[in-house]
Chain A
Amino acid sequence: MPSPRGTASVAASCLLLALAGTAVGADEQPWGHLHVNGFATLAATYADTDGQADFRSAQFQSAGSGRSRHWDFANDSNLALQLTWDTPYEPLRVVTQAIAANDTHDDFKPRIDWLYLGWQPAPDLSIRFGRFPFPSGMYSETRWVNSSRLEVRAPQSIYAPLPVSSLDGADLNHYLQSGPWLLRSRLSYGQTSTVIASRFGDTEVDLRSVISAAFDLNRDNWRLYLGGFISDTRVTSPQSKGLHDALHEQAQSNPSLNALADDYTPDYSRVWQIDAGIEYLNAPWTVRVEGLYRNSQTKLVLDLANWNATLGYTEGRLTPFVAIGQMRLHEPWRQQALPSGPPGAIAAVAAYNASLVTSNETILSVGLRWDLDHGLALKAQLDRHQLDDEQSRGVFTNNTPEFVGRQAAIHVFTLALDYQF
């Protein structure tokens, strides 16, 4: 459940901000113009995992419906405020986005997702310095804005495996318009870090020297996206470090274990990802397809070849939709044969084999979006998760050993109310 204290503090902050805004009044300048926008979602989720695991919307979440609680009201709920200050010096603006959402410690509290200084030296060129959205996919900038899509959450096969949503650094945006074509090119550089909590302790994730390029081509009802990033990534947890050290120690007498130890290196490893998508928005039809390919030199970051497709049909204010997504490890993990060496080596390899859990699964979704008055939208969505191999636990967490590779499908139902202003 969201912390009542945290929720209350965010609500109070919003109210104070609104009152403060009224108080400063509507007089013109010379301190510029402040725009206040926001979005919120109140969601309830139920997952029928038979008490074997928790459903989570994103990889960094550590609890949810299924095992820790029957109904989950935290993982897909959020409340965000975005302040945009157009300074009197026209090329400069300051943007901040604060979002209260469930964090990795299952605590519903606010964080600053964006805080950047934007400089627009030319009408078609802008540069951002500070904290801005992590450029990971077609909808990375609106990942938390649930009212911007048909589904109750960003497609899990694309966005759930990425534990970060912002990048600290600089990025350059260029807009090129030619007739009906509009091309946005984005080049980013920076670093970020986060913590992923679990019942077994915290895992630290550090991404440095992140270089990203993204190209977004729009024409009328069509949008094409191609982007990618490369980074030095380090993932460390007490378990992975212990496994690495045990394998490394046993490799002194059994050199073949060196390669296995390298799979869990606590040092920085190269990770890169490319993402492509296409969107067609022409009433009554909504069509979206997006896929990603991720390559990693460490088993602590999954190699992925995931995709998602969504089809919606709008009739008045109702839009029923269907979606399908698949998560695939593009290079199957192989269990290692137990060596005929000392007990320590046998134990280390057994622990290595036990660590090889994948997220391979197919997610089928059906849902309905109902656009109400006053910026509200009501959504209902039913997801069917089918784990696709015997080592998979899908997007779920806190699983019992029996859950891994479960054959029976898992159904997840979510009811959500979105708001934006």
Chain B
Amino acid sequence: MCSRLRLTISSNGLCALVSALLMAAPGLAHGAEPDEVGIIAVVMRSDGAVRKLVREEVYAIFVLDKRGNLQPLDLPETDPVRAAFYMRLAGKSLGMMRALRSTLVFTGAGRPPKQLELAAVHERLANDPTAIAYLPMPDLPLGVRVVATLAPAP
């Protein structure tokens, strides 16, 4: 059997550095607008092992990387749902989350959730009973179970 080493280049990888530098200028004005996002659901496949999570458990999975056997998924930073999710869950802005993730990764204490585009998140949820993600409540795909919700601040 040919043994292979699985390799992950986190986020968009090294290649992104070059493209990011080239694309930074048009991206300067792009900002998430978390205030406009409605209720966010934390979801798993309907036959997943988890039925309900409290906020502290969601925080541990997505912020502290205390994930157990679950595979948390992140939406891209450009998606306003991601900014709203972490603002409601942890009170952290995009920049603050980047700082926390840096600390997590570069202390060797953990790794951030895998980042996928929305369509890929749907696909992963359909195929992986351990995948856990956050999605806007009105746009949930079939076959998922809501294990927690985060509503906008009143």
Is the pair B6, A29 in contact by a Cβ cutoff of 8 Å? yes
Is the pair A375, B93 in contact by a Cβ cutoff of 8 Å? no
- A34 and B19 alpha carbons, distance in the complex (Å): 24
| A227 CB within 8 Å of chain B | no
Is the pair A373, B95 in contact by a Cβ cutoff of 8 Å? no
| A5 CB within 8 Å of chain B | no
Is the pair B17, A147 in contact by a Cβ cutoff of 8 Å? no
- A179 and B31 alpha carbons, distance in the complex (Å): 34
| A39 CB within 8 Å of chain B | yes
Task: Name the interface residues of A119-175: CB closer than 8 Å to any CB of B.
Answer: 128, 133, 141-142, 145, 147-149
Is the pair B6, A27 in contact by a Cβ cutoff of 8 Å? yes
One of B40-48, B105-113, B131-139 contacting the partner: B105-113
Is the pair B11, A375 in contact by a Cβ cutoff of 8 Å? yes
- Give chain A nearest CB distance to B127 CB in angstroms: 15
Q: Given contacts A15-B14, A142-B106, A148-B103, is CB(A316)–CB(B31) below 8 Å?
A: yes
- A377 and B93 alpha carbons, distance in the complex (Å): 14
Is the pair A82, B95 in contact by a Cβ cutoff of 8 Å? no
Task: Name the interface residues of B39-71: CB closer than 8 Å to any CB of A.
Answer: 56, 64, 66
Q: Which residues of B contact A40 (CB under 8 A)?
A: 17
Is the pair A84, B6 in contact by a Cβ cutoff of 8 Å? no
Is the pair B27, A374 in contact by a Cβ cutoff of 8 Å? yes
One of A195-203, A280-288, A388-396 contacting the partner: A280-288
A–B pairs, 29, beta carbons within 8 Å: A15-B14, A17-B14, A25-B7, A26-B6, A26-B7, A29-B5, A31-B6, A34-B8, A36-B14, A37-B105, A37-B106, A142-B102, A148-B98, A149-B99, A179-B56, A220-B90, A281-B91, A281-B96, A282-B92, A283-B93, A316-B31, A317-B31, A319-B93, A370-B28, A373-B30, A374-B23, A375-B77, A421-B11, A421-B16
A82-B106, A319-B95, A374-B19 known, 20 other contacts, Cβ within 8 Å: A15-B14, A18-B9, A21-B9, A26-B6, A27-B4, A33-B7, A37-B106, A82-B105, A147-B99, A281-B92, A281-B100, A283-B87, A283-B91, A286-B96, A317-B95, A369-B95, A374-B12, A374-B23, A375-B12, A377-B98
| A193 CB within 8 Å of chain B | no
Give the nearest-CB partner of A118 in chain B.
B108
Is the pair A314, B93 in contact by a Cβ cutoff of 8 Å? yes
| A38 CB within 8 Å of chain B | yes
- A333 and B92 alpha carbons, distance in the complex (Å): 45
Task: Name the interface residues of B1-37: CB closer than 8 Å to any CB of A.
Answer: 3-17, 19-21, 23-24, 27-28, 30-31
Is the pair B4, A28 in contact by a Cβ cutoff of 8 Å? yes
Q: Which residues of B contact A314 (CB under 8 A)?
A: 93, 95-96
| B116 CB within 8 Å of chain A | no
Interface centre among B16, B56, B98, B108 (most CB of A within 10 A): B108
| A97 CB within 8 Å of chain B | yes
Q: Given contacts A18-B13, A35-B10, A283-B87, is CB(A371)–CB(B95) below 8 Å?
A: yes
- Give chain A nearest CB distance to B153 CB in angstroms: 12
Give the nearest-CB partner of A282 in chain B.
B91
Give the nearest-CB partner of B26 in chain A.
A373
Task: Name the interface residues of B62-88: CB closer than 8 Å to any CB of A.
Answer: 64, 66, 77-78, 87
Give the nearest-CB partner of A179 in chain B.
B56
| B94 CB within 8 Å of chain A | yes
Task: Name the interface residues of A27-72: CB closer than 8 Å to any CB of B.
Answer: 27-40
Is the pair A373, B5 in contact by a Cβ cutoff of 8 Å? no
- Give chain B nearest CB distance to A42 CB in angstroms: 9
| A403 CB within 8 Å of chain B | no
| A412 CB within 8 Å of chain B | no
- A29 and B106 alpha carbons, distance in the complex (Å): 24
Q: Which residues of B contact A82 (CB under 8 A)?
A: 105-106
- A33 and B94 alpha carbons, distance in the complex (Å): 28
- A37 and B115 alpha carbons, distance in the complex (Å): 14
Per-position 1/0 for A393-421, Cβ under 8 A of B: 00000000000000000000000000111
- A245 and B87 alpha carbons, distance in the complex (Å): 62
Is the pair A142, B95 in contact by a Cβ cutoff of 8 Å? no
